Amino acid sequence: MVFDITRHRMTKQRQLILDVLRNTDNHPTADRIYEQVRQVMPRISLGTIYRNLRVLKEGGEIQELNYGSSYSRFDGNPSGHYHFVCRVCGAVSDIELPVMKEINTLAAQVISGKVESHRLEIYGLCAGCGKGIV
Amino acid sequence: MVFDITRHRMTKQRQLILDVLRNTDNHPTADRIYEQVRQVMPRISLGTIYRNLRVLKEGGEIQELNYGSSYSRFDGNPSGHYHFVCRVCGAVSDIELPVMKEINTLAAQVISGKVESHRLEIYGLCAGCGKGIV
DNA sequence: GTACGTGCAAATATTTTGCAGCAGT
DNA sequence: ACTGCTGCAAAATATTTGCACGTAC
């Protein structure tokens, strides 16, 4: 699906937010997206950022992530993939590991419900933070 | 570790919160814990709930979970285990699946940092919600 | 007796929403 | 032109914190 144009309009704001998310790999927060977008469109409001993030998420264009923080991060890559989270600096990066469908199969054997998907995050120290610590 | 009594005091409030968490398996939110505890100790404050949840978490007595919602849930079982989240009713339940250490090994091969742990959640429909839906 | 802990209330932080005018199709 | 979208500001939600008093050790 490209975009549900029968219900949604591709406004300049929405396109810009999507562009920002697709051209970064650091999984920014709403506030960080706001800063980025404001450099091009200074009068955009944070409410518009949040409204568009929701629409884009519901349309399957982007993903929302939240890893123990009080805020969400967003990922312009909507396809299933895993993430690595540094416990020191909080950076989130993509993991080049294929999605393991067998996890769903395993889980289905012990769950009295319908298994649909799973989410996996790896925690540790990123290369940069690992160096500084003894 | 039982509890770091050299730094922390086991107050009635803290003990009660811990008891509530240990005697339930539905991974309650802070607010729900507050309601429970208030039935026994009506003058306790929500601030105290949050402060104690943090102390208990830092002491390794409990776990904090957050799955895409804007609020956290808490788990009185501090040992590593996986969770199943129903996408309809939002219920969170424990999964009887052993922790797969090989996931860390696999991840370590493709990550340029130090892998320490991982978190896995299964999503789907719980038994109750699966029935109602065609 | 000494800190840590508590209740209360105010403050933060993040996200959502009402509204009147704007703009994509 | 129709209806969704925007900016603005206020509200809602979840969590944290300052303070004076209380209590576990």
Establish how many alpha carbons lie within 13 A of residue A112's alpha carbon, considering only the half-sphere containing its beta carbon.
5
Average pLDDT, chain A: 91
Q: How far is A51 from chain B (nearest CA, A)?
A: 16
Candidate from A107, A115, A122 with C-beta closest to B115: A122
Q: Where are the alpha helices (DSSP H) in chain B?
A: 12-22, 30-40, 46-58, 101-110, 127-132
CA/C1' separation A134–D13 (Å): 40
Per residue in B35-71, pLDDT tens?
999 999 999 999 999 999 999 999 999 999 988 778 9
pLDDT reported for residue B5: 46
* B84 contacts A107? CB cut-off 8 A: yes
Model pLDDT for residues A6-36, shown as the tens digit of each residue: 589 999 999 999 999 999 999 999 999 999 9
By C1' distance from the Cα of A8, the closest nucleotide is D4
Separation of alpha carbons A93 and A19, rounded Å: 19
Residue A27: exposure state from Cβ atoms within 10 A (0-12, 13-18, ≥19):
buried
Asked if B122 lies within 8 A of A125 by C-beta distance, the reply is no
For residue A40, pLDDT over 80 is answered with yes
Average pLDDT, chain B: 91
A33/A30 Cα distance (integer angstroms): 5
| From B97, B110, B116, residue closest to A87, measured CB to CB | B116
- A10-19, A104-113, B11-20, B63-72: segment of lowest average pLDDT: B63-72
Residues A114 and B130: their CA atoms lie apart, in Å, by 7
The pLDDT of residue B68 is: 75
CA B46 to chain A, closest CA, distance in angstroms equals 18
Question: Which among B8, B76, B103, B68 has a CA at the least distance from the CA of A123?
Answer: B103
> Backbone phi, then psi, for A94, in 5-degree steps?
-75, 150
Whether the per-residue pLDDT at A93 is higher than 60: the answer is yes
With 70 as the cut, is the pLDDT of residue B17 above it? yes
pLDDT digits (tens, 9 = 90+) for A45-56: 999 999 999 999
Q: What is the pLDDT of residues B72-128, one digit of tens each?
A: 999 999 999 999 999 888 899 999 999 999 999 999 999 999 999 999 999 999 999
What is residue A69's predicted lDDT score, i.e. its pLDDT?
A: 80
pLDDT band per the 50, 70, 90 thresholds, residue A5: very low
pTM: 0.89
Whole-number pLDDT of residue A19: 97
pLDDT of residue B1: 45
Q: Which two tokens stand for residue A100?
A: 């393991």
Tell me whether residues A110 and B118 touch, CB distance under 8 A: no
